[in-house]
Amino acid sequence: MKTHKYMPGIKCGDMGPKLGFSSKDNGWMTMENVRIPRDQMLMRFQHVDKDGTYSIQGDLRILYSVMMFTRLVLLSSARGNLAKCLVIGLRYSVVRRQFRNITGKKEET
C-alpha cells in the first residue's frame, strides 16, 4: 500500500481514450492465483458459493435492458452533438471566402 505497486498475480492497464466519450476512463485488470475473501466481493448481481460455483442473481433480461438503456442514452447524446457540429460547419461554409472575387482582386475584410 505504501509503494502503490501491483500485488503478486495482479496485472492492470489503461484501455486508452474512448472515441466520442472521453469523460469515461476505462481500464483492465487480470488476477492469477489471487484469493479474494467472499465478504469483500461485489456480489450484487452475481454470486460465488463457498465451493466456487458461480451463478447470476436476478433476471438476465433486466440486466441486459440496463445495458441497452445506457447505449440508448449514448446514441441520443451523439445525435445532439452531431446536430451542433452540422450547424457549426454550415455557418462556417456560408461565410468562408475561398477564391478571389470576379475581378481577380483579393477582397479586404
% the chain with pLDDT above 70: 87
**The pLDDT of residue 104 is above 70:** no
What distances in angstroms separate CA 82 from CA 19, 70, 103, one per listed residue?
A: 14, 19, 38
- The tens digit of pLDDT for each residue in 29-38 reads 999 999 888 8
**Secondary element (H or E) of residue 87:** helix 60-95
**The pLDDT of residue 9 is above 80:** yes
pLDDT at residue 87, as a whole number: 95
- Separation between Cα atoms, residue 83 and residue 95, nearest integer Å: 19
pLDDT at residue 75, as a whole number: 87
| Mean per-residue pLDDT of the chain | 84
**Is pTM beyond 0.85 here?**
no
pLDDT at residue 85, as a whole number: 94
In this structure, the chain runs to a length of 109
